[in-house]
Amino acid sequence: MGFATEFREFALKGNVMDLAIGVIIGAAFGRIIDSIVKDLIMPVIGVFFSADFSNLYIPLGGEVPKGLPLEEARNLGPVFAWGNFITVLINFIILAFVIFLMVRAINKMRRKKENKADAIQAPENTLQEKLLMEIRDSLSKR
């Protein structure tokens, strides 16, 4: 089997395609969460604390003056960008929570489907079947 044939077989397997779709949707979803945090949540938190968290930092070098935007400060020297870290941390917590809710919903649907399948597979015995089983059991005891 040639390399190209082997690769095509691998790439067209269901799990690989599902993974590719998941990665693409996850990247897009990550951008949405990033926008929610940067554009909606952090400005409200910034107003509450009277600060723009994305520009909160501590200069680690003497040549970095305070009050510059973070990107300009990074160009001048090392900075401890703790405000940016808080923004990214909130972004992660929200994304992890949303993924947890999605996995929880999927697991709930799976359990419901399994319970439904179990109910379908195990029909209740009729009265005649129950009587026949009792007769069989009593005959086998003799």
Answer whether 21's CB lies under 8 Å from 11's CB: no
pLDDT single digits (tens) 28-37: 888 888 888 8
Please state the pTM of the whole predicted model. 0.58
In terms of residues, how long is the chain? 142
Answer whether 53's CB lies under 8 Å from 46's CB: yes
Which helix (DSSP H) or strand (DSSP E) does residue 58 occupy?
A: strand 58-59
Residue stretches of the chain with pLDDT short of 70: 1, 14, 117-123, 142
Answer whether 104's CB lies under 8 Å from 98's CB: no
CA-CA distance, 23 to 139, in Å (whole number)?
63
Domain ranges of the chain: 40-141
